[in-house]
Structure 1
């Protein structure tokens, strides 16, 4: 009984701690227009006085150091206040032919606790930054419509293949394949890099004629629905679905 009460009390305490987490960002992603010298993010503190630590990192942690910097990397943020974080480009090192994506991490560091044993949580938020070099061909809003979808079969295995010929990243999620009167949910979201592709395993008996429905995440963090009619290995262009 005591164990159950202790567990319930701890769960309630964690829920209250999470509900009172101090910081929030003004967006779920950052678009860095290369025509401007910097991009900015606003951090708001809804709780007590804290320190905010911010840093950038590559999507692939094995990659070399990024040609970007963030300032201030560490700052005190009083209760009820906000802080502007500035992301700066070194001027060289990122591709000028396609979009570059990387992570922005913002971590709340609570003040030191007083006397006694107190569990403190350092809450971290992580969003993607998309750097778009000036004069980039195409339009990010039209990039999702340029995706090409097809079914692949090899040695008894089947895959759903997507190719992104655009110069922009496209994030797809909530995929559902409709085939033979059945629907197959493909839950794994994936970000397709410029000029690259992605694939999802499918049941071996997936019909050659199928409809694919999915969502993409746009610059504003909102979802937009698309559908593609698949005819075997022939590339299929998606169509935007009206809300």
Structure 2
């Protein structure tokens, strides 16, 4: 099974039924942490689902997929290498529930392997069909299973620009053994002047994969400049050196 993966951690899913009503509160389901890492010695990790509504219960479903990238596109595939438990949850008002992320096989070799846990808020059983517009949440939480051995993991990014007519994209390849989470992409020109290009989370480049992101049309790529970004949550910015052939 394959399904496309939206890059955002949190998605709002709109379920439309007949009638008109105000949207139900969609912020009551909370998931933490925002990512899970399993080392060689860990067979399981934890997610916490919390219902912050003080009056109303909710239902949710959890599923886990192998996460890959193919030709610049995110892919999710069914897997038996990891599991989540329990798959169906009912949370009373103010209640929280532990979700276990379980590695069912041996750790990978050479490089980390990535998965995604999808947490879907389900329509309430007591919601009438004609309740109108209902907003439901989906969380997509990265899970990284680290390989066996003591060799330090690291990302190795190669970046270049790709032009298609007037559209310019940043292409990033990762030849390392660790994912690279790219955030706060900024262009710094030859004078040191800075311009934010893509704020917040830009996306991930998994080991051995290549991703591309379209840049805003007003991005001015000038001689002598370079991109900087925050990688894997580090406070210090990293320079993304551009391949001269792709400038």
- Match of residue 109, structure 2, among 86, 96, 108: 96
Measured on the aligned residues, the alpha-carbon RMSD in Å equals 3.8
More strand by share: 2
Measure how far apart 1:41 and its partner are: 0.8
Structure 1 residues 199-214: aligned runs within 5 Å: 199=212, 206-214=221-229
- Where 2:151 maps in the other structure, the secondary structure is coil
- Where 2:109 maps in the other structure, the secondary structure is coil
Q: Per-residue displacement from partner, 1:59-111 (whole Å, max 9, x unpaired)?
A: 3546453411111111322222211111112214x632111111111122243
Partners of 1:114 and 1:64 lie apart in 2 by 31
Q: Per-residue displacement from partner, 1:16-42 (whole Å, max 9, x unpaired)?
A: 623xx3321121111122311111111
Does residue 80 (structure 1) correspond to residue 90 (structure 2)? The answer is no
Length-normalised TM-score, structure 2: 0.68
Deviant stretches of 4+, over 6 Å: 151-154, 201-205
Tell me: higher relative CO, structure 1 or 2? Use CA pairs within 8 A at least 6 residues apart: 2
Q: Which residue number in structure 2 is paired with residue 4 of structure 1? A: none
Q: Which residue number in structure 2 is paired with residue 172 of structure 1? A: 182
Partners of 1:121 and 1:69 lie apart in 2 by 27
Partners of 2:171 and 2:110 lie apart in 1 by 24
Structure 1 residues 30-179: aligned runs within 5 Å: 30-47=36-53, 48-60=56-68, 61=75, 63=77, 65-92=79-106, 95-113=108-126, 117-119=130-132, 120-135=134-149, 137-139=151-153, 143=154, 146-149=156-159, 160-179=170-189
Whether the aligned pair in 1 keeps the contact of 2:163 and 2:169 (CA below 8 Å) is: yes
- Where 1:91 maps in the other structure, the secondary structure is coil
Return the index of the structure with the highest Cα Rg. 1
Q: Which residue number in structure 1 is paired with residue 32 of structure 2? A: 26
Structure 1 residues 3-18: aligned runs within 5 Å: 13-14=22-23, 17-18=25-26
Whether the aligned pair in 1 keeps the contact of 2:58 and 2:121 (CA below 8 Å) is: yes
- Where 2:225 maps in the other structure, the secondary structure is strand
Measure how far apart 1:206 and its partner are: 3.9
Measure how far apart 1:233 and its partner are: 2.8
- Where 1:17 maps in the other structure, the secondary structure is coil
Does residue 192 (structure 1) correspond to residue 205 (structure 2)? The answer is yes
Partners of 2:240 and 2:158 lie apart in 1 by 11
- Segments of 5+ residues of structure 1 without an aligned counterpart are 1-8, 235-243
Partners of 1:165 and 1:138 lie apart in 2 by 14
- Structure 1 residues 87, 115: closer, same or farther in 2, change over 3 A? closer
Partners of 2:127 and 2:157 lie apart in 1 by 55
- Segments of 5+ residues of structure 2 without an aligned counterpart are 1-19, 69-74
